[in-house]
Structures are given as C-alpha cells and as structure tokens.
Amino acid sequence: MRADILDLLQEERERPLVYQYGRIVQERYFKLDKFIKDMNIPNPRILAMTMHIASQEPFRSLIVDTAESVKIADISFNEHEADVLRITTSWKESADQLLLSLCPKPQSRKGKGKALSTSALALAATFFKCHWCSDPITYPRILMHTCLRVRKVVAKDEQNQDNANEDEDVEEDEENGAREVNRSASPRAPRPPKTINMQSAWEKMFHATVREWNAGGDQVQFDEEASSIARNIILACGEDPDTITHVEMERKDARVQCMRCYKPGKKRLVMPWKIAVCFDYLHACIHLTT
C-alpha cells in the first residue's frame, strides 16, 4: 500500500514535466509539418510522411537536440528544403521498388520472369489497391493515398503480444490481490523516477504515430482485376497496354461506351477511359466500345 501511494505521488510529480517536454516537441514537429506543406513542389506532389522526415537528420536534431529553452519562433527549417527533397527521394526509391515487386513480371522465352524497370509503374494498365478501400489506384497516386499514410494493419504477432500483455495485467492484478491478503509478505519498493526529457517526449510521440507509408509493408497489393479491365479498355482504344503510359492515355482523352447498359432509343452511357475502369470494376460490365 505504501509503495502504491508513493508511485502515485511520483506520477503526479512527473506529469507537469511530461506535458512540458511533450508540448515543446509537438510544437517543433507541427512547425516542420507546416513548412513541408507550404513547400512549392510541382505536381504530382509526392512527399515522404512528415514523421519519416522528422526522424531523419538534420530534422531530428533540430526537434530533439535543440535546447528546450529555445523558442519555437527561433527555430527555422527554411534552409533545409533540399534535405526534405533528399529524404523524399530516398523514400520514394524504396517505395517504387516495393511496388515493382508486387507487379507481375512478363515471362521470357525460357519461362523466367523478366526484371521490371520503374517505367512499368507509369503504364496505364498498372493499378494497385489498398487494404482499406476498394477503388483501383494508379501510380504515383498510390504513394500519397491517405489510407496508406494514416493507418496500420495490426499484425498477428502484435495482436498476440497485446493479448499476452492483457494476460500479464490480469496475472499482476491477481498477484497484487494475493499480496494484499498476505500481510506477512515483504513490501515492494516504489518504482524509480522516470527519465523525462526531450528524448523521452520524442520517443513517446514517435511510437504513438504512424510513421511510414504502407506501415508494416502489407497494406498495398497489385490490382490484377483492375489491370485486366484496363488492358481491355486500352486495346479497345487502339493502343498497346504494354507500352502506353497513364499520362499518354490521359492526353488521348478517349471515351468509351458500356454496351451492356446500352438500349436502343435511350441515352448512351459514355465515360472517360479511367472512369470506365472503375465502372467495369464495380459493375462487371465487360462489353465496352469506343
């Protein structure tokens, strides 16, 4: 009982420090986030997640190692725009390689899969899907897809660990109850004070935030169905799905008609090619014509 009271008092003494350091780290992080969002980057606007950028140098040092007495107004990221772009380029190269690994590889004459270049990601027939929603997603839009930047699939081992922690909590409660009953047991010592500083505040925020695009590496897949539909539509438009890019198809601005929905004397259902991919994907109307 005495140790529990001392632990509670220790917690109350530490609470203001936890808040103080946490507020300083968050203010610096949010200033970096605003700086990144305000950067003048041409479309398509592709950027690594702010937390990923913040965890890299020099930004981590600016956030964590700058003395807590330095006011937020005196911290500037303006001279580090090149570092944001450098970190983003490195992240994008890794993400591109992951996406390429998901794409089906064309077969060579010997029956072996040919290596793909990043140009395969830009093909009009290349579509991906995320774990959370059903819409086919093109490249590079998949890199900025919201679901993949704010959510995380709980892995089985993590779930098992959570369950184990719950079991440990139950066992601990039972042990504490047994100690209360057994008055003769030796009293436990109160817990030592926690180390509370800028580093501990950073670690707390870092581990509480989704830090990476496609966290866990299992939230994105190659969309075989949408890709197959796109290939048929591209062929109907008179183009080669193995060579034409998404940008080139957009420039072509082709329109297709759903023949399954067509009825003589009624209005025709005509749509852009990419809308037709989604339409066919959702409605299984495979009879399309230009």
pLDDT tens digits for 47-56? 999 999 999 9
Res 286: pLDDT: 45
Assess if residue 127 is contained within a domain.
Answer: yes
Assess if residue 172 is contained within a domain.
Answer: no
Assess if residue 144 is contained within a domain.
Answer: yes
State pLDDT tens for residues 47-103: 999 999 999 999 999 999 999 999 999 999 999 999 999 999 999 999 999 999 999
Same domain for 38 and 93? yes
Distance CA 223, CA 32 (A): 35
Containing domain of residue 251, as a range?
Answer: 224-289
Same domain for 281 and 203? no
Assess if residue 171 is contained within a domain.
Answer: no
Same domain for 285 and 264? yes
Assess if residue 80 is contained within a domain.
Answer: yes
Does the CA dihedral 54-55-57-58 come out positive or negative?
positive
Provide the whole-model pTM: 0.77
Assess if residue 70 is contained within a domain.
Answer: yes
Same domain for 207 and 278? no
Same domain for 146 and 49? yes
Same domain for 265 and 128? no
List the chain residues with pLDDT less than 50. Answer: 156-160, 164, 179, 181, 183-184, 285-286, 288, 290
Q: How many domains does the chain have?
A: 2
Same domain for 213 and 247? no
Same domain for 66 and 204? yes
Assess if residue 189 is contained within a domain.
Answer: no
DSSP string for the chain: -HHHHHHHHHHHHHHHHHHHHHHHHHHHHHHHHHHHHTS--PSS-----HHHHHTSTTHHIIIIIS-TTS-GGG---GGGHHHHHHHHHHHHHHHHHHHHHHSPPPB-TTSPBPPPPGGGGGBTT--EEESS--S-B-TTGGGG-THHHH-----HHHHHHHHHHHHHHHHHHHHHHHHHH-TTSPPPPPPPPP--SHHHHHHHHHHHS--STTGGG-SEEE-HHHHHHHHHHHHHTT--TTT-BHHHHHHHT-EEEETTT--TTS---EEEHHHHHHHHHHH----EE-
Res 114: pLDDT: 62
Same domain for 27 and 38? yes
Same domain for 128 and 241? no
Tell me how far CA of residue 176 lies from CA of 3, 5, 168, 172, 185, in angstroms: 12, 14, 12, 6, 11
Task: Find residue 258's DSSP bridge partners.
Answer: 288
Same domain for 238 and 123? no
Same domain for 23 and 57? yes
What's the token pair of residue 234?
């591209």
